[in-house]
Structure 1
Amino acid sequence: MEHKPSGSKLLSSVGAGLRLLKIFSADEPELGITVLAKRLQVAKSTAHRLVSTLVAEGFLEQNPADGKYRLGLLLFSLGGLVRLRMEASEVSVPFLRALCDQTGETVHLGVLLHTETRFETLYVRNIESPHAIRPRSYLGVRMPAFCTCEGRVLLAFGPSAQEQQVLSLPLEPRTTSTVTDPQKLQPILERIRAQGFALDDEESETGMRGIAAPIRDASAEVVAAVGLVGPVQRLNDERVAQYTPKLLETALAISKGLGYSQLLGSSSLTAGKQWV
């Protein structure tokens, strides 16, 4: 019978593995078991088990010439995902400012954060409206992805398995308008995919309305979302219809800045006259 570590032991092992990875540096790119064990203050046998697991998972690799260990290419791949998010944040700034100037409304850039039990929109850029009445600053704030316009875009254009996972979770309402029924939320995500943008109609914050569109990278993968948010009194149906093309143009411009080409695929960045 296979023996599985308890939750506390597993967390302890994960923590030790992460501490081990942080020992490597530009000055010491390769290290042996003896040094790693000493730095971690553990037995060599323990260090060897940790290293073996990290090698098997691709986080470390062994130099066949001297037997020492170095960071694996999987970390380079994962770092690339973080770099893409940061690059999207940097590239987006002039386009977000232009959209804010054109509409007079607050403009956000959001990315998706998720674990097995939580999917959230993280706001990494925020250009505030000049109006006195405006949404509070979301910079650095995390909000449930299922009810924000940016989060819905990221869920709608993400992996289908991820969408099903979200729909299987208990969803807590943030306002009296929040849609939490999976049977109602799934058709909303389907419409977002069809039309290329999403609407948050007082679902994440009472009195505020927002529209969002996807931002794609050079591989046409959606890596972020641009959202435009304002009070319902200003962002009425007429203005939503007026601002949506500008929002889509902004999303496309940022995407092109990340190397995206419409020749690669989806027309979702310029599609859609209807809104939900």
Structure 2
Amino acid sequence: MAPDSEQPAAGPDRGTVLGKVLTVLQAFRPDDDELSLAELGRRTGLAKGTLHRVAADLVAARLLDRDSGGYRLGGQLFELGMRASVERGLLEVAIPFMQDLYERTHETVHLGIREGGEVVYVGKIGGHRAAVAPSRVGGRMPLHCTAIGKALLAFAERDVLAGVVAAGLERKTPRTIVAPGLLRNELRRVAQAGVAFEHEESALGLVCVAAPIRDADELAVAAISVTGPVTRFRPEQHATAVRAAADGVTATLARRRHLVADR
């Protein structure tokens, strides 16, 4: 037996909860299908009671699956990996279009996706003139008060909007839309025009225009936007450019899907 199978490899700090979790997950090798609790203990060096608690938490989080024979890596890990892959591919395609929008406007350009009732920002381009926006890559904002969020909601399945309304529409500024009926009317306009606007609804002093990036079913997988200060930026003047950028990303992603399908 190889020496590295006798002792756990150097890795995460097992004195922390995260370190214990990573130690268990990294105990699985590429050719492993299933590991018993005893084998996990041998590979990780964790005490049996500790290992049992960590494994139980991982099963509850779907990061591990358990059956009578032992443990295997769970479906949630696959889903997370696929999402990371999709986001990398999306960003790779979107960046040239985002750069073009920045050159046209010299304002902040965002790329966002939906996660639950929030926008998650996965890309951002801004220069020295860029307005101070309450956003960062990896940051989140409610869907209902951002232009990107409205674009995502207007081209989402119906139950998504129902869930957002049921959770309550948080007021971020005096201009935030918090009445469900007004939000629905706004989203109908977005669906008809293919572009969404925000006028100081997530932060005072900022205005924004966004458009959806859609899949083969015309549902939004992401949205792209330009944000600027109300003192100088007129989002309506850039609606056509933002919509064209989003459509360009949509078309490029569709071509990639077709190429993969034809292989």
Does 1:33 pair with 2:37? yes
User: 1:22 matched to which residue of 2?
Assistant: 25
Counterpart mapping for 1:60-139 below 5 A: 60=65, 69-72=71-74, 75-114=77-116, 119-131=117-129, 134-136=131-133, 138-139=135-136
RMSD: 3.7
Aligned 8 A contact 1:168 1:182 in 2: no
Inter-partner Cα distance in structure 1 for 2:169 and 2:145 = 9
User: 1:159 matched to which residue of 2?
Assistant: 157
Does 1:235 pair with 2:233? yes
Question: Where do 5+ consecutive residues of structure 2 fail to align?
Answer: 1-17, 259-263
SS at match of 1:259: helix
Gap change, CA 1:174 and 1:158, over 3 Å in 2: same
Match of 1:255 among 242, 246, 250: 250
Query: How far 1:247 sits from its partner (Å)?
Result: 0.6
State the number of aligned residues.
236
Aligned 8 A contact 1:84 1:223 in 2: no
Aligned 8 A contact 1:126 1:139 in 2: yes
Aligned 8 A contact 2:214 2:220 in 1: yes
Aligned 8 A contact 2:213 2:247 in 1: yes
Q: Aligned partner of 2:243: which letter?
A: L
Inter-partner Cα distance in structure 2 for 1:93 and 1:79 = 21
TM-score, normalisation: structure 1: 0.70
Gap change, CA 1:179 and 1:22, over 3 Å in 2: same
Aligned 8 A contact 1:211 1:244 in 2: yes
Question: Where do 5+ consecutive residues of structure 1 fail to align?
Answer: 1-14, 264-276
Does 1:200 pair with 2:198? yes
Aligned 8 A contact 1:226 1:251 in 2: yes
% identity of equivalent residues: 30
Gap change, CA 1:92 and 1:59, over 3 Å in 2: same
